[in-house]
């Protein structure tokens, strides 16, 4: 049991370390390595699940449950931050697309005078 608890504690420590690295990457807007960290977390969680499945749930030490709860909370914070950033990026892209479309239907000043450009209709010009 002590060996199993030590192994679980080691996995939880590794998860905490990876989640900390993930938080640092998020804060630094360094998204290149986050996918690799996600895969590493999945591997660690798979190991954890395999060990816990082999033992009786009632035998899981309370200290490990507390450690796991703290790691889970940190992982959830990272997930919420990443989801918010992804939503922000989607919204920014949508706004840029909207601005780009509106710019196509705006007035411009050309050397020959003012022109209202609308790609879906006729072009109207007036001389300055």
Tens-place pLDDT, residues 92-102: 999 888 877 76
Give the global pTM.
0.66
Q: Which run of H or of E encompasses 77?
A: helix 62-103
- Tell which wins on pLDDT, 71 or 61: 71
Average pLDDT, the chain: 81
User: What pLDDT does residue 96 have?
Assistant: 87
Tens-place pLDDT, residues 53-64: 887 666 777 888
- Residue 59 is given by DSSP the state G
Residues contacting residue 55 through CB under 8 Å, at least 6 positions apart? 1, 4
Q: pLDDT category, 87, cuts 50, 70, 90?
A: very high
């Amino acid at each position: 049991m002590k060996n199993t608890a030590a192994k679980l504690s080691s996995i939880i420590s590794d998860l905490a370390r990876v989640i900390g690295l993930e938080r640092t990457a998020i804060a630094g807007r360094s998204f290149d390595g986050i996918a690799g960290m996600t895969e590493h977390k999945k591997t660690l969680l798979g190991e954890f699940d395999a060990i816990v499945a082999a033992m009786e749930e009632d035998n899981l030490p309370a200290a490990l449950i507390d450690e796991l709860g703290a790691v889970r909370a940190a992982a959830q914070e990272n997930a919420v931050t990443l989801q918010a950033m992804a939503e922000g990026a989607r919204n920014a892209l949508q706004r840029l697309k909207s601005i780009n479309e509106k710019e196509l239907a705006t007035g411009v000043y050309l050397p020959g005078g003012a022109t209202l450009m609308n790609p879906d209709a006729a072009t109207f010009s007036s001389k300055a």
